[in-house]
Amino acid sequence: MPLQIDTIETRRLLLTALSFNHSDPMFRLWSHPDVCRYSGTVTDYDRIEIPMPAASPAESDKIIDFWQRAAADGWGFRWAMLDRSSGRMFGHIGFNSLGPVSELAYHLHPDHWGKGIMSEAAAAAIDWARQSTPETTLEAFIAPENKASIRLALGLNFTPTGQFSDGAECYRLEPLSPTQ
């Protein structure tokens, strides 16, 4: 069943469904080596590896296509992260999977690191997941060397599980109890 992706506004951000309207900023994001450092293998929808960092907009457009098709199939999606005042996109956030366990994933252009933007976006994404499926457990897989992402996860009350997949540790946020 196709997903209906809500647009979310926060104090500084607009989270809107990732589309080909975001092609240029996606290329700026995915052509930056620091963005790709901890991303793991990136594939298109047919599981063909996309070399990273992206060398052309056509390569990063395959990522947009991937997430549009995932949303159409109902199992994952991405929001483009836009500055509310300028409308500029500088990252994306969403879910690699949705269900009893939903995997949160995100990328932010280095020009915007250290400004609390990802904390704001991730809190909004978590709120969306809690409202959509209150019983879901949230996970994020983070490379041990990615100290900033680990700080973010811990600040959002994710806890390390000690379980690893492709070299990344699983951090988990359990569902809210009925009394919370």
Using the predicted structure, report yes or no on whether residue 42 has a pLDDT greater than 80: yes
Q: Is the pLDDT of residue 112 over 60?
A: yes
Determine what percent of the chain is predicted with pLDDT higher than 70.
Answer: 98
Q: Is residue 135 part of a domain?
A: yes
Residue 19 inside a domain? The answer is: yes
Dist CA 94 CA 78 (whole Å): 4
Q: pLDDT tens, 56-91?
A: 999 999 999 999 999 999 999 999 999 999 999 999
Token pair in block for residue 29: 């994001």
User: Distance between CA 4 and CA 17 in Å, rounded?
Assistant: 9
The residue type found at 72 is: A
Domain presence at residue 85: yes
Quick check: is 20 in a domain? yes
Q: Is the pLDDT of residue 8 over 90?
A: yes
Domain total for the chain? Answer: 1
Compute the C-alpha angle 29/33/39, nearest 5°. 80
Q: Which CATH number does the domain housing residue 54 bear? A: 3.40.630.30
Would 179 be classed as within a structural domain? no
Its domain, for residue 114, covers 8-173
Nearest 5°: CA angle at 82, between 139 and 170? 10
pLDDT at 46: 96
Would you say residue 180 lies in a domain? no
Is 81 a domain residue?
yes
Find the DSSP H helices in the chain: 23-30, 33-36, 57-73, 117-132, 147-155
Which residues pair with residue 103 across a beta bridge? 97, 139
Instruction: Give the residue-averaged pLDDT of 12-24.
Output: 98
- Within a domain: residue 3? no
Amino acid at 118: M
pLDDT tens-place string over residues 124-177: 999 999 999 999 999 999 999 999 999 999 999 999 999 999 999 999 999 976
Rounded Cα distance, 23 and 26, in Å: 5
For residue 176, the model assigns a pLDDT of 74
35 confidence band (pLDDT: 50, 70, 90): very high
Helices (H), 3-146: 23-30, 33-36, 57-73, 117-132
Cβ atoms within 10 Å, residue 123: 13
When pLDDT is averaged across residues 109-128 and rounded to a whole number, the result is 97
pTM, 2 dp: 0.95
pLDDT score at 177: 60
